[in-house]
Structure 1
């Protein structure tokens, strides 16, 4: 597995642009976040999302969370009322994933000079789990790509998520399906995966704390 080292304290544009170009090609890249390492992929690419499930050995029936660049981007793919929006403004960017009702048809997304309907793969039929991470290199990817990205943890299903780069490498070593690139930022600050809140219920429900 090819590995590139990055420094999380600064934006290394040349390295991040190379990551962006690979993501545009439907590749899957292990990348650091403000919680744990994740397999980053274009959430609008069926092929890329399928590969994420294969790498994680995860059932396609088990939906995955999605990263977005801002609340406006979230509103293109999820139903967000004013009360929910005010709440999201207090927790995003940050370590909180929220489950929202999906829009039946996504709002227009501009790609190049064309407006297209955006389809997100790997999510549930009626709901979608969204988060805006709080890490500059990841936020740089989201803003430059201007598309939602897969935001699930980089681990084989059933094994713990990790911010330890050696553990991440060990889990995927010699596996049939592997990521196309691993971005090595060293061992991340100790953190649990994000809190998950279900905002489709009243009152909201904590799914993972």
Structure 2
């Protein structure tokens, strides 16, 4: 795993794209602050850039560096959830403009998966995480289900957990309103 982290870091720092395992499904990722890298991810997925993507962080204490106001309820939700949960926050900042939704929001998930935690901790910035599929196609449950077109388009494929055939699922998604409203978009 150490060698994978080292190679993935080199690719992320150079503005490249990685294919990597997350706490949910395999993801396509890049530096969440690099607009050119984000643009490439949209191109690989053949996805309209009006459909925003989420970012992964390793620690909830870092959310305030990328969101104007972190509602107290968000931290409470992160403490009580027992499965990977993406929270959509208003007032995104310090991220690539083409990553932020047109309403100024951004989806952030705090990963508890060992590889992604170490990678993000060493990278010191959030990374994009979007399912490793062409837009509109089913999300792959494991590495073997990832389309060859995706594998050929990225700059580095992480070797760690390629042999894990667990049927993983996407995260829950919760949107927090400015007034503290909670909207469950995917459970």
Which band: TM-score by shorter chain?
0.7 to 0.9
Is it true that 1:55 corresponds to 2:44 in the alignment?
Answer: yes
- Structure 2 residue ranges without an equivalent (≥5): none
Q: Does 1:144 align with 2:122?
A: yes
Q: What does residue 90 of structure 1 align with?
A: 80
What does residue 71 of structure 2 align with?
Answer: 81
User: How many angstroms apart in 2 are the aligned matches of 1:98 and 1:73?
Assistant: 14
- Seen in structure 2, the aligned counterparts of structure 1 residues 180 and 189 have a Cα distance that, compared at 3 Å, is same
SS of the residue 1:134 aligns to: coil
Q: Structure 1, residues 32-66: CA drift from partner, whole Å, max 9, x if none?
A: 11211101200101111011000000001110011
1:186 aligns with 2:163: yes
Equivalent in 160, 173, 178 of residue 196 of structure 1: 173
Alpha-carbon distance change, 124 to 46 in structure 1, aligned in 2, over 3 angstroms: same
TM-score normalised by structure 2 residue count: 0.88
Question: Is 2:12 the partner of 1:23?
Answer: yes
What number of residue pairs does the alignment pair up? Answer: 181
Written as runs of structure 1 = structure 2, the 5 A alignment for 1:148-159 is 148-159=126-137
- Secondary structure at the counterpart of residue 75 of structure 1: helix
Deviation by residue 1:109-151 (Cα, 9 ceiling, x = unmatched) = xxxxxxxxx3334121421110012210110011001101001
1:64-75 alignment, distance < 5 Å = 64-75=53-64
Q: Which residue of 1 aligns with 2:101?
A: 124
Q: CA deviation at 1:206?
A: 1.0
Q: Is the 8 A contact 2:87 2:109 kept in 1?
A: yes
What's the secondary structure of 1:98's corresponding residue?
strand
TM-score with structure 1 setting the length: 0.79
Deviation at 1:202, TM superposition (A): 4.6
Deviation at 1:169, TM superposition (A): 3.8
Q: Flag the structure with larger Rg.
A: 1
Q: Is the 8 A contact 2:74 2:87 kept in 1?
A: no
Flag as ranges the 4+ runs of structure 1 deviating above 6 A. none
The structure carrying a bigger helix percent of its residues is: 2
